[in-house]
Amino acid sequence: MAFTSADIRNTLKDFFGFDAFKGEQEEVIHSLLEGKDCFVLMPTGGGKSLCYQLPALMLDGVAVVISPLIALMKNQVDAIRGFVSGNESIAHFLNSSLNKAQIDEVKADLLSAKTKILYVAPESLTKAENVALLRQVKVSFYAVDEAHCISEWGHDFRPEYRRIRPIVDEIGKAPIIALTATATPKVQSDILKNLGIPDALVFKSSFNRPNLYYEVKDKVDAEKDIIRYIRLHPGTSGIIYCLSRRKVEEMAQFLQINGIRALPYHAGLDAKTRAENQDRFLMEDVDVIVATIAFGMGIDKPDIRFVIHYDIPKSVEGYYQETGRAGRDGLQGECITYYSYKDIQKLEKFMKGKPLAEQDITRQLLDEVVSYAESGQCRRKLLLGYFGEDYLKDNCGMCDNCLHPRTIFDGRAEMKLVIRLVLSLKEHFKIEHLAAILAGSETALVKSYNHDKNKYFAAGATHTEKFWAAVMHQGLIAHLLEKEIETYGLIYVTDLGRMFLDDPWPLNMVEDREFSGTGGGDDDEEEAAVSLAALRGGGGDEQLLALLKDLRKDMAHKLGLQPWILFQDPALDDMSIIYPITIEELKNCQGVGEGKAKKFGKPFVELIAKYVEENEISRPSDYVVKTPAGSNRKSKIISQIDRRISFDEVASAMDLSMEELYEEIESIVSSGTKLNLNYYINQEIEPDVTEELMDYFRNEASSDSLEEAISALGNDYTEDEIRLVRLKFLCEVAS
Ligand code: ADP
Ligand code: MG
């Protein structure tokens, strides 16, 4: 079956309510629809789910989605069901949390081909009875979400993931799409090999998250600083990461005392409390969750507005995953990290007693964190560089270093010195060692290699080791130097670096920042907060937005769904800007399709209508359907009926009673205009009732008089039924 781009876009708009694809979603979807294996690398929040959810709806059969996150499957399924009204069978999940009756329901829906998407945990997929079940249904394709779990080199290895390929062969071959947010080359090749899809089309998108703001702060009075920050952003959701359970508890308590709705989350809490705290965060009973890194794996809350690292994370990769949980909906997220070198020293102490190879890796990862934190360069450039991606702009405008640029100097001479040193040594060494040589520091390692006798020893003694390390980090970003991956980061000079040495070009370098870890707060922070507020833009009606959020929360509670499943933040933002007061207008908001508007929209448009009236707000004219007089009113009605809008919506949009609307339509039709009312009649009236009534007008009625019809039929049919079918008769038969 061939699908056109229009088919795909219609599904995007009608089902998901989005106007445009994000990144490479459309290309991925096309390829999958054509039956090709796909490998999708997108950062967290990139929109991976849609890449399989959308084709699943279009293709024949059921898409089997393998995901490790049992706790979140229900959410995913709820989210899909949230887009359609009255079709719970469309999505299901199979995992160990289901009871017998629930499993039977899933089976029945699968066997009767009602289900388009089935989420399974890998351990459920490997169960014989499930394999047997899936052998009986048509599988459209397999989606392996969080595919890095296949690799021991990923950050979340799951042995059961290794069994996916053989199971797929057993159930029946179908295209495979693998998706992950982990980008290291080793993990990538493991995934392709293990899933047996060497020829998969690879879609690797940029890992840049333009809506995230990055900042590293001196860890001074951090607790107070955090309170101040949260008070500046009341009612928004955020995560605060601390490294120890004790600190998590302390911080949560400290926030609570200060009137902030916060809860702790760490592995030391019992499972029930943990689940409860997580739920209360997802349901917006609390604004802030204070957590160890255990929290957040796959958390799908799209409107997390800030991620604060009270303690420095242990690796840049971890930092990126954690900060990535902010702003999944594409609106601003702020990522703030408190840094003090003392914390690094503490972490180093924890390494003692671990195997040497592991210590070496840990040390290496910590060095990366330090150089990131202390760098004066654009944070975005640094982060993307870490994932092997070049960020080409000079100023991203969305990190502390770009908003408050550091001193820039031409580092040509310094870089040349570094390159000469590296080339002069027979073996390759790490950054710290090289920096010690240049700064003239007689460390044990330097002496053991006799590098204190090297001709470059102390050649850069006017600068500190830190300075030289920073020069080398910038050399890495500029691809003049490279790190050996296999050997934990020994430095070598690239071809570009050799060219630079022969004929150097100007090299803008940034001085590192000084972190005291003890000093007082400074005024810069206030300034940063102001410029961010300006960046945020927004422009909506904040008072209305707050009301809408409360309504969403209340409704979500009643329905037992997460608030964002009703409407996401961008949709509420739009509502607070364009003031939709009908279901039809509501569909103009981002992420609101037909199903969602019908299913959840009514209370929202009612609230907005009331708000608009009470505050005498004039709505943007595009969206206002003013009450027109005379023929203008009629033409409005005709155009709305042409657009197949239901009568009650037309009436409410035009401020007419149903009686008035019927009178208008009757007058339009009597004057000879034909309207196609079937869309509404088919929805309101049983087909045989329509037939019987048509029969009456055709064969029994002596005129088209409404009164006559009502007195003849009024006992058996409602007045609305009679009126509507009479109109149909007038349009189709009588004129
Ligand atoms: P990932 O799995 O890659 O981390 P998700 O699939 O959870 O990301 O999607 C992140 C967010 O992006 C979700 O809130 C989702 O609704 C939203 N999203 C996905 N596709 C689109 C799109 N085409 N337009 C607007 N928002 C989208
Ligand atoms: Mg995902």
709, 703 in Cβ contact below 8 A? no
Q: What CATH number was assigned to the domain covering residues 532-614?
A: 1.10.150.80
Pocket mutation for ligand 1, best pick of 8, 49, 77 (most atoms within 8 Å of C-beta): 49
Question: Can you tell me the mean pLDDT for 374-389?
Answer: 87
> Of residues 537 and 255, which shows the higher confidence score?
255
**pLDDT at residue 1, as a whole number:** 59
Please report which confidence band the pLDDT of residue 305 belongs to, taking 50, 70 and 90 as the band edges: very high
pLDDT of residue 539 exceeding 60, the answer is no
Cα–ligand 1 centroid distance for 47 (angstroms): 3
What's the CA gap between 165 and 178, in Å, rounded? 12
Task: State whether CATH 1.10.10.10 applies to domain 408-510.
Answer: yes
One-letter amino acid for residue 700 of the chain: E
Where do the structural domains in the chain lie, given as residue ranges?
5-204, 212-403, 408-510, 532-614, 632-732
Check residue 512 and report its DSSP letter: P
The pLDDT, as a whole number, for residue 596 is 83
* Same fold: 5-204 with 212-403: yes
In this structure, whether the domain defined by 632-732 belongs to CATH 1.10.10.1390 is answered with yes
pLDDT at 621: 46
pLDDT band at 301 (very low <50, low <70, confident <90, very high): confident
Whether 306 lines ligand 1, by a CB cut-off of 6 Å, is no
Give residue 140's pLDDT band: very low, low, confident or very high (50, 70, 90).
very high
Nearest CA to ligand 1 atom 25: 18
Beta-carbon-side half-sphere exposure of residue 289 (alpha carbons within 13 Å): 29
Q: Is residue 44 lining ligand 1, measured as CB closer than 6 Å?
A: yes
Q: Is 23 in the pocket of ligand 1 (CB under 6 A)?
A: no
HEC string of 74-92 equals HHHHHHHHHHCCCCHHHEE
CA distance 325 to 333: 9
Task: State whether CATH 3.40.50.150 applies to domain 212-403.
Answer: no
| Beta-carbon-side half-sphere exposure of residue 36 (alpha carbons within 13 Å) | 15
Is any atom of ligand 1 closer than 6 Å to the C-beta of 593? no
Atom of ligand 1 nearest to the CA of 49: 6
User: 565: CA distance to ligand 1 center in Å?
Assistant: 12
Percent of the chain with pLDDT over 70: 92
Q: How high is the pLDDT of residue 177?
A: 98
Residue with the smallest CA separation from ligand 1 atom 2 is 48
- Three-state secondary structure string covering 600-667: HHHHHHHHHHHHHHHCCCCCCHHHCCCCCCHHHHHHHHHHHHHCCCCHHHHHHHCCCCHHHHHHHHHH
Which protein residue has the closest C-alpha to ligand 1 atom 19? 47
Give mean pLDDT, residues 509-522. Answer: 60
- Helix count (H) and strand count (E) of the chain? 35, 17
Q: Tell whether ligand 1 has an atom less than 6 A from the beta carbon of residue 296.
A: no
45 lines ligand 1 (CB under 6 A): yes
Distance between CA atoms of residues 244 and 66, nearest Å: 32
CB 497 within 8 A of CB 480: yes
Which residue is closest in CA terms to ligand 1's atom 5? Answer: 47
> Could you tell me if the CB of 301 is within 6 A of ligand 1?
no
Pairing between β-strand 237-241 and β-strand 304-309 as defined by DSSP bridges: parallel
Structure confidence at residue 306 as a pLDDT band (50, 70, 90):
very high
pLDDT in tens, 15-35: 999 989 998 999 999 999 999
Architecture of domain 5-204: 3-Layer(aba) Sandwich (3.40)
pLDDT at 239: 96
The CA distance from 619 to 575, in Å, is 11
Give yes or no for residue 497 CB within 6 A of ligand 1. no
Burial of 55 (0-12, 13-18, 19+ CB in 10 A): buried
Q: Of the given ranges (10-14, 230-234, 534-538, 572-576), which has the lowest mean pLDDT?
A: 534-538
Three-state DSSP class for residue 710:
helix
Identify which of 51-55, 240-244, 687-691 has the greatest average pLDDT. 51-55
- Cα–Cα distances (Å) from 1 to 60, 393, 519, 637, 698, in that order, read 9, 43, 67, 39, 44
Percent pLDDT > 90 in the chain is 43
Q: How confident is the model at residue 683 (pLDDT cuts 50, 70, 90)?
A: confident
Residue 121 pLDDT > 60: yes
Burial letters 640-658, b for 16+ CB under 10 A, else e: bbeeebbbeebbbbbebee
216 close to 307: Cβ distance less than 8 angstroms = no
The ligand whose atoms approach the alpha carbon of 328 most closely is: 1
Ligand 1 nearest-atom number relative to CA 18: 24
21 lines ligand 1 (CB under 6 A): yes
Which token pair is 246?
A: 């004790």
- What is the C-alpha separation between 452 and 434, in angstroms, rounded? 11
- Taking the CA of 53 as reference, the closest ligand is 1
CA distance 535 to 33: 39
Q: Which atom of ligand 1 is nearest to the CA of 568?
A: 14
Does ligand 1 lie within 6 Å of residue 49's CB atom? yes
251 alpha carbon to ligand 2 midpoint, in Å? 29
Say if residue 182's pLDDT is above 60: yes
Contact residues for 533 (Cβ-Cβ < 8 A; gap 6+) = none
Closest atom, ligand 1, to C-alpha of 302:
14
What is the Cα–Cα distance from 267 to 377, expressed in whole angstroms?
36
Average of per-residue pLDDT across 232-251: 91
What's the token pair of residue 647? 């009568």
Q: Is 564 in the pocket of ligand 1 (CB under 6 A)?
A: no
Vertex 548 angle, CA 296 and 608, to 5°: 155
Question: Predicted confidence band at 627 (pLDDT cuts at 50, 70, 90)?
Answer: very low
DSSP state of 200: P
Give yes or no for a contact between 590 and 574, defined as CB atoms under 8 angstroms apart: yes
The DSSP 8-state label assigned to residue 46 in this structure reads S
**CA distance linking residue 491 with residue 371, whole number of Å:** 15
Q: What confidence tens digit (pLDDT) does each residue in 414-471 have?
A: 999 999 999 999 889 999 899 999 999 999 999 999 999 999 999 999 999 988 998 9
| Digit-coded pLDDT (tens) for 470-483 | 899 889 888 899 88
Nearest CA to 431 among 394, 465, 391? 465
